[in-house]
Amino acid sequence: MTDELQRKSADYKKLEDQHFININMMKEAETLARAEADSRKKAEALARTEEENRKKAEVELAELREKVRKLESECIASIEKAIEDGKVQGRVEGEKSGYEGAMEEARTQFRMVYNTGFRKGWKSALTKTEQPETSELFLRSNTPIPYPEEGIQDSDNEVPEAGGEEEADDEDEEDGEVEEGTGTGRTQEAPQSVPAGTTADVPGPSSGK
């Protein structure tokens, strides 16, 4: 009888131990299931974030393409206007200095206008890329203009730079004074060689020599 009770007690102990083992396994399975569920939620959230970022990038890319298209249109319009301005300036100068000189002056004016338009586009691009206003890239001397020999037209909103450009401006002013003096002398000489009644029809002093 005692042996039977001991066996039953031992069997009960084994069943109880197995029950605890099963409970622990169930807890571990539940913990693992929760961890997998959390991982799945995180993966889904990450996928949604990536999808949103992709859509946002597509929108930004479309906006950039539109900006590039507008800049191209503005550039083409600026070039066409520069060509027209060059033609007009060439016609005006052509009446004074002849065809060859007018064409050379027109080319110079066109290149200066083109350089000026390029300068404006360069500053606009720097502003759109959020470059600081104190950046040396904004300096006229650091603008990679297509025709550096012709320079850039003076503008009221351009701040003169110290150094070489001020000296160049002084030289330009001196050259302008010399040209004005020469022009005055030629104007005084014109009446001596041409009758007063035909002065308006004379192309210029160079043709009378």
DSSP letter string, 50-72: HHHHHHHHHHHHHHHHHHHHHHH
The dihedral through the CA atoms of 125, 131, 132, 138 has a sign that is negative
Determine, yes or no, domain membership for 174: no
Determine, yes or no, domain membership for 94: yes
pLDDT at 95: 64
Residue 149, φ and ψ in degrees, nearest 5: -70, -35
Determine, yes or no, domain membership for 172: no
145 closest CA partner among 125, 181, 108, 119:
119
DSSP 20-35: HHHHHHHHHHHHHHHH
- The parent domain of residue 116 ranges over 69-152
Determine, yes or no, domain membership for 39: no
Residue 81 or 99, more confident = 81
Read off the pLDDT of residues 118-133 as tens digits, 9 standing for 90 and up: 878 888 888 888 888 7
Residue 196 has pLDDT above 70, yes or no: no
Task: For residues 82 and 114, give the distance between their C-alpha atoms in angstroms, rounded to a whole number.
Answer: 6
Determine, yes or no, domain membership for 38: no
What pTM value is reported for the model?
0.28
pLDDT at 45: 92
Determine, yes or no, domain membership for 88: yes
Report the percentage of the chain scoring pLDDT > 70: 65
Task: For residues 69 and 63, give the distance between their C-alpha atoms in angstroms, rounded to a whole number.
Answer: 10
Range 43-71 average pLDDT: 89
Determine, yes or no, domain membership for 11: no
Q: How many domains does the chain have?
A: 1
